């Protein structure tokens, strides 16, 4: 019996949202035993997001989880209220399975799902296209994580990206939390689990393969177009 993967995606409205979620849906549709949790950074669940979820045919949960008002202006940290709401939902509804935080704009190799499904406590693996080093990854020696390779250590215990780890839900403590501190969300979350370095399970061939990328879509800039109504009026009636 395959363990269920709970794939948690924070998302927010913008011109790129539907294409990002469409592409992600088309990846996830290939994955067996996956429950998609989309946490919408809006006061109500949006219909366009609901429609993508419904048409995916996947089991899903759609949560409305707007960021608190004080973070509206700065727009950082990104996707925290929604991930926290997803953690609450998991705590209330799920007792086993594997949690993975999958942003709406990342790119995932299907092999990653076979890997993270094996997670006993916390597993880790490389993430491509991160920072100035181009990859963020645990450093593995004799099958154990001994250090981290990340271009922004930021005095973090676990300097990893959100896409670089998975957690067995049985290891999710009631104290599990994610702070509203940009750059420290992952580290503080992992620390809140009471994770020890020697408990980390390195995946992706001892962290030698990149199976997920922190891709970013260029922001669509609305061109200033003036439609020439006169020309349209000139058309033969
Ligand atoms: N996000 C969100 N609300 C926001 C900004 C971002 O829910 O106000 C989501 C976004 O859809 C994505 C995740 O949080 O799934 C991380 O955001 P983004 O990809 O913009 O950040 P970066 O790639 O720069 O870490
Ligand atoms: Mn992103």
Confidence of residue 76 (pLDDT cuts 50, 70, 90): confident
Task: Using the predicted structure, report yes or no on whether residue 72 has a pLDDT greater than 90.
Answer: no
Any ligand 1 atom below 6 A from CB of 213: no
Contacts for 6 with CB less than 8 Å, ≥ 6 apart = 35, 37, 90, 94, 97, 98, 99, 100, 169
The dihedral built from the CA positions of residue 98, 176, 182 and 104, taken in this order, carries a sign that is positive
- By three-state DSSP, how is residue 134 classified? coil
Q: Which DSSP category does 110 fall into?
A: T
Average pLDDT score, the chain: 95
Q: Which of 18-27, 52-61, 64-73 is least confident? A: 64-73
pLDDT of 165-188, one tens digit each?
Answer: 999 999 999 989 999 999 999 999
- Of all protein residues, whose CA lies closest to atom 5 belonging to ligand 1? 78
Cis peptide, bond prior to residue 77, ω within 30 of zero: yes
- Of all protein residues, whose CA lies closest to atom 15 belonging to ligand 1? 103
pLDDT of 80-130, one tens digit each?
Answer: 999 999 999 999 999 999 999 999 999 999 999 999 999 999 999 999 999
pLDDT of residue 124: 99
**What ipTM goes with this model?**
0.99
Task: Give the global pTM.
Answer: 0.94
pLDDT of residue 74: 78
Contact 61, 35 (CB under 8 A): yes
| 126 Cα: distance to centroid of ligand 1 (angstroms) | 20
Strands of 144-149's sheet, edge to edge? 107-108, 212-213, 127-128, 135-141, 144-149
Mutate which of 79, 107, 152, 215 for ligand 1? The one with the most ligand atoms within 8 Å of its CB, which is: 79
| 160 Cα: distance to centroid of ligand 2 (angstroms) | 14
Q: Which atom of ligand 1 is nearest to the CA of 162?
A: 25
Q: Which atom of ligand 1 is nearest to the CA of 41?
A: 7
Contact 97, 67 (CB under 8 A): no
Q: How far is the C-alpha of 123 from the C-alpha of 131, rounded, in Å? A: 21
Any ligand 1 atom below 6 A from CB of 102: no
Q: What are phi and psi of 231, to 5 degrees?
A: -60, -40
Structure tokens given for 184: 């420290």
């Amino acid at each position: 019996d395959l363990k269920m993967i709970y794939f948690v995606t924070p998302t927010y409205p913008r011109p790129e949202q539907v294409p990002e979620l469409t592409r992600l849906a088309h990846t996830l549709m290939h994955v067996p035993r996956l429950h998609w949790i989309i946490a919408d950074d809006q006061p109500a669940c949006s219909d366009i997001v609901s429609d993508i979820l419904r048409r995916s045919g996947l089991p899903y949960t759609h949560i409305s989880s707007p960021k608190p008002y004080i973070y509206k202006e700065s727009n950082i940290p990104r996707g925290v209220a929604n991930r926290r709401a997803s953690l609450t939902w998991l705590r209330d509804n799920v007792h086993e399975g594997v949690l993975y935080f999958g942003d709406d704009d990342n790119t995932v190799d299907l092999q990653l799902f076979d890997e993270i499904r094996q997670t006993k406590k916390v597993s880790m693996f490389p993430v491509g296209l991160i920072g100035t080093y181009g990859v963020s990854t645990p450093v593995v020696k004799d099958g154990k994580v001994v250090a981290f390779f990340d271009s922004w250590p930021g005095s973090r215990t676990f300097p990893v990206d959100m896409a670089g780890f998975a957690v067995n839900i049985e290891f999710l403590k009631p104290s599990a939390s994610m702070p509203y501190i940009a750059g420290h969300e992952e580290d503080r979350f992992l620390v809140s689990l009471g994770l020890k370095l020697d408990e980390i399970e390195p995946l992706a061939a001892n962290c030698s393969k990149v199976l997920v990328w922190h891709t970013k879509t260029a922001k669509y800039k609305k061109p200033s177009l003036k439609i020439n109504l006169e020309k349209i009026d000139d058309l033969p009636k």
